[in-house]
Amino acid sequence: MSVPEPIRVGYVVKRYPRYSETFIVNEILAHEAAGVAVEIFALRGPEDTHFQDIISRVRAPVTYLPDRSQKASDLWDSLRETAETCPATWWNLHHAATMEAREVVHALALAAHVRRRGITHLHAHFATSASAVARLAGRIAEVPYSFTAHAKDIFHEDVNQEELAQRIHDAAGVVTVSDYNVSYLGARFPQHADKVRRIYNGLDLDRFAFTPPTDRDRLILSVGRLVEKKGFAHLIDACKLLKDRGEPFQCAIVGSGEEEAALRRRIQAHGLQDQVHLQGSLPQRAVIELMQSAAVFAAPCVVGKDGNRDGLPTVLLEAMALGTPCIATDVTGIPEILRHGHTGLLVAQEQTQPLADAIADLLNDSALAVRLARNARKLMEKNFDVHHNAAQVRELFQRDAVPTPRRIAV
């Protein structure tokens, strides 16, 4: 029996590291724990001012692809240089017809790295520029590529449907993070439905130890970027109802983003300055500590006016793993994990009073909170262990593996 050749995977991302994309880091760490060689290729450098602690655990080398305006002569030089290591360069250029010039430069550089370093598979996160670059680079370097589709990259009104169809068509396989997404993509692109597979984002559950939610502070916690789809405005409105009812509570919203000023005005208009606090972005260890002390975790997600929406918030998975009772809305894949009355409480999006009622139920009914939390942890252990889920992703890499490209001496 022949032994499968070791795979060497190139992960392609838009920016690395990125504060909000711990799910990518979790996946890479799981591959590394399984002994897989991973290299990270980023189209652009980081723009965040601080990063999550787990970044330091990643051993994979990071290469930042060229990201600058080039003269026509520079592009021509890049083509000729890549063709020296990738003979398929010239007859694959027609696949770049709809790409931006910068993406083409990225793909040429990436293809050369693939050949020089013996990469056997390219995997991109998000069906946007990262997957466009991986697609062309894979063709030029003659290795398969795949990508994971999440949320904005498939739901936003600006998504180019023809380009997305082409990326799915050319991919060895497509991963997405919920059954909802699988159904959505299957309805949009029925001719490619068999290529799309649901693999949930996973957690390293050893890092998220379960604690029953007993004797906790009356703290309502929510975490995410301060953008429309997170629904924080509705959470603030629900807090106003709780205050009017005389419910004692504190609410912490962790994150930063474009809606911060508007949310601060809403807090002030409701007279909630003593109850609701915008905490800014915090390291993951500080978020975990808050989750472990909170009586309620709320994810009041909505579908934005531009069609943007969450896929399956990682912070919701983290809260469920830690034992914090959760409330969320019926958006995209959330009902797959937050099963009303069993693993959490589910409310309709943008409905302030039901959200306030659900929060009050968890603040005041300890037995309900503990039961939901225990059931949620069992679901996390069954379906969201990152090592199990990353192994499913590796099956895709191995299934379409090609002989290791000959390394080119540099």
Along the 410 residues of the chain, how does pLDDT read in single tens digits?
Answer: 344 568 999 999 999 998 888 999 999 999 999 999 999 999 998 887 666 778 889 999 999 998 766 677 788 888 999 999 999 999 999 999 999 989 999 999 999 999 999 999 999 999 999 999 999 999 999 999 999 999 999 999 999 999 999 999 999 999 999 999 999 999 999 999 999 999 999 999 999 999 999 999 999 999 999 999 999 999 999 999 999 999 999 999 999 999 999 999 999 999 999 999 999 999 889 999 999 999 999 999 999 999 999 989 999 999 999 999 999 999 999 999 999 999 999 999 999 999 999 999 999 999 999 999 999 999 999 999 999 999 999 999 987 655 555 554 44
Instruction: State residue 71's pLDDT score.
Output: 78
> 309 Cβ partners below 8 Å, 6+ apart?
151, 155, 229, 301, 302, 303, 331, 332
Question: pTM of the predicted model, to two decimals?
Answer: 0.92
CA distances (Å), origin 108, targets 48, 96, 141, 261, 276: 27, 11, 9, 42, 49
Q: Which of 84, 119, 166, 162 is nearest to 12 (CA)?
A: 119
List where CATH 3.40.50.2000 sits in the chain.
8-202+386-399, 205-383
Fold of 205-383: Rossmann fold (3.40.50)
219-223 and 196-198 strand pairing = unpaired
For the domain spanning 8-202+386-399, the CATH number is 3.40.50.2000
Q: For the sheet containing 250-254, what is the strand order? A: 276-280, 250-254, 219-223, 296-299, 326-329, 345-347
d(CA 126, CA 328): 24
Instruction: State residue 408's pLDDT score.
Output: 47
CA distances (Å), origin 149, targets 51, 189, 308, 382: 23, 14, 13, 22
Longest dimension (CA), the chain: 73
Alpha-carbon torsion 156, 161, 167, 171, what sign?
positive
> 138 Cβ partners below 8 Å, 6+ apart?
111, 114, 122, 144, 145, 170
Find tokens 């409480």 and name the residue: 345
